[in-house]
Amino acid sequence: MHSFTEENYLKAIYKLQEANGLVVATSSLAQVLEVHAPSVTDMLKRMAGKKLVTYQKSKGVKLTEKGRQVAVGIIRNHRLWEVFLVDKLGYKWDEVHDLAEQLEHIHSEDLTNKLDSFLGFPKADPHGDPIPDANGILPKSKAVLLSTFAEGDQGTFTGVTDHSATFLNYLDKTGFSLGDPIKVKGIEKYDQTYTLQLKGKKEVVVSFKVANSLLLSQ
């Protein structure tokens, strides 16, 4: 089995690769993992020895197929446990991340699959992030940022790109709820604020920053 630390590196590399391209820099990893760069260099060497990543000195790192499998497995665990915490234990969507960070490292494929079944094979976690299936296949999302919408466009709110508790709280307070329809009533040229019509005709005005963190589908 892999250590928690290794698994956290794998997850971080996976996410950075998804977000920013093929190869991940030492400094990016150091930043997201909150360790110093030499620790990362150290760890990457060890992980390369275990064939979890391919690492070229001063050229960055990427996952091997084996590393990718492990990373996706952890993401599957994480998102399933988030669903459990929200659906079964009554946690709010802004409270579950840290707990899921612990639970994701429980090592048992069988447990993961039984949990999946218990939860009714959910397709997405409480933030709308897709849950990889038992084969490590992660459905490609077709959601787009609200910030790409024009006046009159509409869609369904299906995800966020900012997972911070403060942002999620702001959404709650303002009346955003996953699965609800959103329509763009207007976009102010001057400061790029969006006037939106939420479910129940409620109108709200949000900044570009917010529009750029909301994912809509259809």
Partner DNA sequence: TTAATAAATTAGGTTCGTCTAATTTATTTT
Partner DNA sequence: AAAATAAATTAGACGAACCTAATTTATTAA
Interface ranges with its own copies (CB under 8 A): 85, 88-91, 99, 102-103, 106-108, 111, 114-115, 118
Q: Does 144 bind DNA (CB under 7 A)?
A: no
Residue 120: φ, ψ to 5°: 80, 35
Q: Which does 218 bind (CB under 5 to 8 A by kind): DNA, its own copies, none?
A: none
Query: Whole-number minimum distance, CB 54 to DNA, in Å?
Result: 12
Binding to DNA in span 27-86, by CB under 7 A: 27-28, 30, 33-46, 55, 57-60
Distance between CA atoms of residues 39 and 138, nearest Å: 30
User: 115 or 211, CB closer to its own copies?
Assistant: 115
Q: Which does 111 bind (CB under 5 to 8 A by kind): its own copies, DNA, none?
A: its own copies
User: 53 or 85, CB closer to its own copies?
Assistant: 85
Write 104-112 long-range contacts (CB < 8 A, 24+).
Answer: 104/7, 104/74, 104/75, 104/77, 104/78, 105/4, 105/7, 105/74, 105/77, 106/77, 107/1, 109/73, 109/134, 112/73, 112/76, 112/77, 112/80
Q: Does 5 bind DNA (CB under 7 A)?
A: yes
> Any idea which residue has 């400061």 for tokens?
191
Query: Whole-number minimum distance, CB 3 to its own copies, in Å?
Result: 11
Beta strands in the chain (DSSP E): 53-56, 60-63, 144-145, 154-160, 181-187, 194-197, 203-206, 214-217
Query: Whole-number minimum distance, CB 65 to DNA, in Å?
Result: 20
**How many residues form the binding site for DNA (CB under 7 A)?**
28
| Chain residues that interact with DNA, rule: CB under 7 A | 3-6, 25-28, 30, 33-46, 55, 57-60
